[in-house]
């Protein structure tokens, strides 16, 4: 498919998906829960637990009492005791809530991310700042917590695509019928596509991506391709690509 037809296909998909009804229990997505609260800390919790079956993600997120993010730490420990999600036990979940409680008393997530981002206009620098704060403020180490918050890579060009964080940045920076646009200090043009297996597969089949490895370099390559369609907002195509992959719409006519 040539570039003109491909752009038209993607623009049509974006327009069709850009509606509140795209988020529902029939078509679950963690953004369904995050958008109810429109809060940067709650949205981060929703994004970080955004792995696995979408329906189960939404069910788990709806079981959480997000008011605990402002409760005292003993209450957080007591109320989250016994709760878990896949690789995270109640101690890991408690550590995240306590870290976000402490963070909220010091500064906003936006301030932390902007501190790194503004050095050179690179969203990954903001991400490394955020991960560092979640490590520092929790005082907790475990395999489950490490999986949840990630770690700053030694080589930022050869690492995982950090899909859940990039999805969070999309939600919180962009503004349309789906994304909340709660932050104002980061340019949507600098966002990176939240690359998951669905998006990676469909992008390969559509010819948007050549790199077969599922990693940060693939996310950057795909973002650059999409920047050719819309330099100011390349990540606007993310949700459409995700849904195309999720729904199995791989057979595109040339």
Q: Is 232 exposed, middle or buried (0-12, 13-18, 19+ CB in 10 A)?
A: exposed
Q: Where are the domains of the chain?
A: 3-246
Find all residues with CB under 8 Å of 106, minimum gap 6, and list them: none
Task: Say if residues 252 and 207 touch (Cβ distance below 8 Å).
Answer: no
97: its two tokens? 């809530």
Query: What confidence tens digit (pLDDT) does each residue in 12-71 have?
Result: 999 999 998 999 999 899 999 999 999 999 999 999 999 999 999 999 999 999 999 999
pLDDT of residue 249 exceeding 80, the answer is no
Average pLDDT across the chain, whole number:
94
For residue 198, what pLDDT is reported? Answer: 85
pTM higher than the cut 0.85 = yes
For residue 243, what pLDDT is reported? Answer: 83
For residue 253, what pLDDT is reported? Answer: 44
Query: What confidence tens digit (pLDDT) does each residue in 193-223 have?
Result: 999 988 999 999 999 999 999 999 999 999 9
pLDDT of residue 115 exceeding 90, the answer is yes
Average pLDDT over residues 217-235: 97
Average pLDDT over residues 229-243: 94
24-36: string of b/e by CB count within 10 Å (b at 16+)?
eeeebbbbbbbbe
Average pLDDT over residues 172-190: 97
- Phi/psi at 204 (5° precision): -65, -45
Instruction: Look at residue 186 and give its three-state secondary structure.
Output: coil
Average pLDDT over residues 222-245: 93
Query: What confidence tens digit (pLDDT) does each residue in 64-113 have?
Result: 999 999 999 999 999 999 999 999 999 999 999 999 999 999 999 999 99
pLDDT of residue 11 exceeding 90, the answer is yes
pLDDT of residue 251 exceeding 80, the answer is no
| Alpha helices (H) in the chain, listed in sequence order | 3-17, 30-37, 40-48, 54-62, 73-80, 90-106, 109-117, 123-138, 143-149, 163-173, 197-206, 216-227, 238-246
What is the C-alpha separation between 59 and 57, in angstroms, rounded?
5
For residue 2, what pLDDT is reported? Answer: 82
């Amino acid at each position: 498919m040539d570039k003109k037809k491909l752009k038209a296909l993607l623009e049509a998909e974006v327009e069709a998906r850009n509606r509140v009804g795209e988020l529902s229990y029939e078509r679950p997505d963690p953004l369904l829960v995050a958008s109810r609260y429109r809060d940067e800390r709650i949205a981060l919790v929703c994004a970080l637990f955004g792995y696995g079956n979408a329906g189960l993600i939404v069910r788990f997120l709806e079981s959480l009492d997000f008011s605990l993010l402002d409760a005292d730490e003993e209450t957080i420990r007591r109320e989250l005791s016994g709760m878990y999600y896949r690789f995270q036990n109640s101690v890991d979940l408690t550590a995240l809530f306590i870290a976000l409680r402490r963070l909220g008393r010091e500064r906003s997530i936006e301030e932390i991310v902007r501190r790194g981002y503004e050095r050179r206009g690179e969203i990954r620098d903001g991400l490394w700042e955020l991960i560092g704060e979640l490590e520092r403020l929790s005082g907790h180490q475990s395999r489950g917590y490490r999986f949840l918050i990630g770690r700053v890579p030694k080589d930022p060009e050869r690492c995982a695509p950090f899909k859940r964080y990039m999805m969070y940045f999309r939600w919180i920076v962009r503004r349309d019928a789906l994304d909340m646009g709660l932050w104002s200090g980061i340019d949507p043009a600098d966002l990176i596509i939240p690359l998951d297996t669905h998006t990676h597969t469909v992008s390969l089949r559509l010819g948007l991506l050549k790199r077969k490895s599922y990693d940060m370099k693939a996310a950057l390559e795909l973002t650059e391709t999409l920047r050719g369609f819309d330099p100011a907002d390349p990540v606007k195509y993310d949700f459409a690509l995700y849904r195309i992959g999720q729904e199995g719409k791989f057979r595109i006519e040339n």
